[in-house]
Amino acid sequence: MKILLTAVNAKYIHSNLGIYSLKAYADQVLGLGEAGGRHERAENRGTGTGAMDPAKPSIELAEYTINHQLDQILQDIFRREPDVIAFSCYIWNIEYIRYLIADLGKILPDVPIWLGGPEVSFDAAKVLGELPEATGVMKGEGEETFAQLAGYYVDKLCKKGTDSGKILPDGQAGLENIPGLAFRLPDGSLADTGVRRAMDMSRIPFPYKHMDIKDLEHRIIYYESSRGCPFSCSYCLSSIDKSVRFRSLELVLDELAYFLEAGVPQVKFVDRTFNCNKKHAMAIWRFIQSHDNGVTNFHFEIAADLLDQEEIELLGQMRPGLVQLEIGVQSTNPDTLKAIHRKTDIAEIRRITGTINQAHNVHQHLDLIAGLPNENLESFRHSFNQVYSMEPEQLQLGFLKVLKGSYMEEMALTYGLCYSSRPPYEVLSTRWLSYRDILELKGVEDMTEVYYNSRQFVHTLSGLAAEYGSPYEMFLDMAAYYRENNLTGISHSRIARYEILYSIIARRRDAGLDASVMERFRDLLMYDLYLRENVKSRPSFARDQSPYKQAARQFFQREEESPHYLMDYEGYDSRQMSKMAHIEAMGDGTLVLFDYRHRDPLTYNARAVRIG
């Protein structure tokens, strides 16, 4: 008997912690252990973590992505011959799953199909009404509910009630006795067993214990050390569960040691506000600092204004790149923050992020949400410019998604909130923003992602924003240029992005930009270009370097004592050195050496030195 836990991820690099956790807990409760622990992906078929025993009940994992052809997923599920199928449902995959369920009901009509996850938990009756092929919905937190549901099917299909029925309340092996379910009765009506109480997180086995970590080596590892959130942000489902529960620190540190020993590239904590408990956060940060393997990076979502001096000092001692911090600013408008029930001290966030920036060792990702109440276009421009001035490594401009079950959904009529009827239910307009305004913000978002978040144009953008008067106006003009020249939606090469930005700046020259300023931007663009890599293809606006080739060659061939920044190049001939370094002549004849053997440990940019 086989139960198939199925996930359709947004990207290949993602992994699905939810189904890993459900399987780990159910295996432990039902006594299935490793024998039932095969994990396969459509891209990596046949690399399971253990041989299957066909005579023993098992829970298998199947992961796909939304980039798969639906027919490919359908075929794979059919060939696995499941006796029960369970889908993990989110806003990014629910449409794919709807189509899959409709066809699975035709080719596997006798196989029960269950749904779980945030996209189906809060309107189970409606979901079952729209999907007649679905058997039922697991609502809310899933580990205990799924374990009991799996036990029900082991009883029913394997006729071993005395073995697995013990996990059901009062020893009754029936769906009506499993809290947290909504399902169809034989007469077609729906039954609902209510809401299950939140469980002790320390009872959940380590989700990755029986998985081959090599199967995940090219993907992000997700991990949780707490559930719930102390805040009540109206757009977030975490506001429904205001109680925060923590996994035992002893377990957490042991599990983090497993990741460190395996040398995984990144562990992303999914805790909603990681630092809401200082003792918990400090213990974890101290552990990863003292056990740093030089490879693994840890990502945390935090409330920056909760950090105190001790925490800031500890973060300042981390290896560059060891820690990433995601900070949800969302808006700097006090009326907006009040309306969404978000207690945020913007001045304190500015002070703390600035202090962290000074240490130059922690990536900071700051988030804004467009479409929130009381924020019109002028207000959002102000929020954008304020957050931009905090100089984060990433500025994520997102758009409000009206999630099922959230307070924002309840307030949609009051806010004049118009949003897409299809997942991810993204805002289209509000009382304060028209759809035309939303389109303006979409253009700014695209340009911010391409030119700011890529970190390939740092020095150019710094100078250019001053010419426009504000970063928002700069990105708005970029978006207009892309739209007017039909450049939007095209996958441009890196060199092409530089060519386009040069053209945008040149357009300002036509409008009166001083010629000497234009030459300065030519230098800045070339400086940014070579900081990242020693490119062989040069943009059309690049200066002719022929007059400076002899000076560059002589510099690499000099026989006198080398300056300290070239000591590591001793023993290499000029041809070899030219591959490891690049010399670029600027407009005033100054030569800049880009040293690729010495890179910034946080940005990975080459060391740049003026040599004459």
pLDDT at 562 over 80: no
Could you tell me if 146 and 62 lie in one domain? yes
Same domain? For 550 and 532 the reply is: no
Tens-digit pLDDT profile for residues 109-128: 999 999 999 999 989 999 99
The region that residue 486 occupies, defined by phi over 0 for left and psi between -120 and 50 for alpha, beta otherwise, is left
The pair of three-digit structure tokens given for residue 145, joined into one six-digit string: 């509910």
Q: Provide the pLDDT confidence category of residue 362 given band limits of 50, 70 and 90.
A: very high
Number of H helices and E strands in the chain, helices first, is 21, 21
Asked whether residue 446 is domain-assigned, the answer is no
CB 501 within 8 A of CB 460: yes
DSSP output for 158-169: H--HHHHGGGSG
pLDDT tens-digit map of 413-424? 999 999 999 999
Same domain as 464, residue 538: yes
* Mean pLDDT computed over 393-408: 93
Handedness of CA 88, 91, 92, 96 (dihedral sign): positive
Domain that holds residue 369: 211-433
How high does pLDDT run on average in the chain? 89
Q: Which amino acid is at 18?
A: G
Domain harbouring 129, CATH code: 3.40.50.280
Q: Which residues pair with 86 in a beta bridge?
A: 5, 114
Give long-range contacts, CB 8 A cutoff, 24+ apart: 568-576. Answer: 568/597, 568/598, 569/597
Q: What is the pLDDT of residue 50?
A: 38
Closest CA to 33 of 50, 48, 16: 50
pLDDT attached to residue 258: 94
% pLDDT > 70, the chain: 89
46 belongs to a structural domain: no
Asked, for residue 40, whether it belongs to a domain, the answer is no
Contact 376, 432 (CB under 8 A): yes
Identify the band that residue 215 occupies on the pLDDT scale cut at 50, 70 and 90: confident
Strand partners, 62: 6, 40
Q: Where are the alpha helices (DSSP H) in 511-612?
A: 515-532, 549-557, 574-580
At 213 the pLDDT is 82
More confident site: 317 or 577: 317
Would you state the pLDDT for residue 552? 77
268/343 same-domain check: yes
- The sign of the dihedral angle between the CA atoms of 267, 270, 273, 277 is negative
Same domain flag for 607 and 472 = no
Stretch among 180-184, 259-263, 577-581, 604-608 having the lowest mean pLDDT = 577-581
Q: Measured between alpha carbons, how far is 336 from 175 in angstroms, rounded to an integer?
A: 44
Among 527, 542, 557, which residue terminates a domain? 542
CATH at residue 297: 3.80.30.20
**Which two tokens mark 241?**
């569960």
The tens digit of pLDDT for each residue in 157-190 reads: 775 444 444 444 444 458 999 999 999 998 889 9
The arrangement of strands across the sheet holding 84-88 comes to 39-41, 58-65, 2-9, 84-88, 113-116, 136-138, 181-184, 190-192
Please state the rounded mean pLDDT for residues 56-68.
92
In a domain, 146, yes or no: yes
In a domain, 201, yes or no: no
Q: What is the pTM of this model?
A: 0.89
Q: Is the Cα dihedral 158, 161, 164, 167 positive or negative? A: positive
Q: Domain count of the chain? A: 4
Cis amide prior to 186 (ω within 30 degrees):
no
Please check whether residue 403 is in contact with residue 425, taking contact to mean a CB–CB distance below 8 angstroms.
Answer: yes
The token pair at 413 is 């009529």
Confidence grade of residue 135 (pLDDT, cut at 50, 70, 90): very high
What's the rounded Cα separation, in Å, for the pair 160 and 519?
A: 80
Residue 174's pLDDT is what? 86
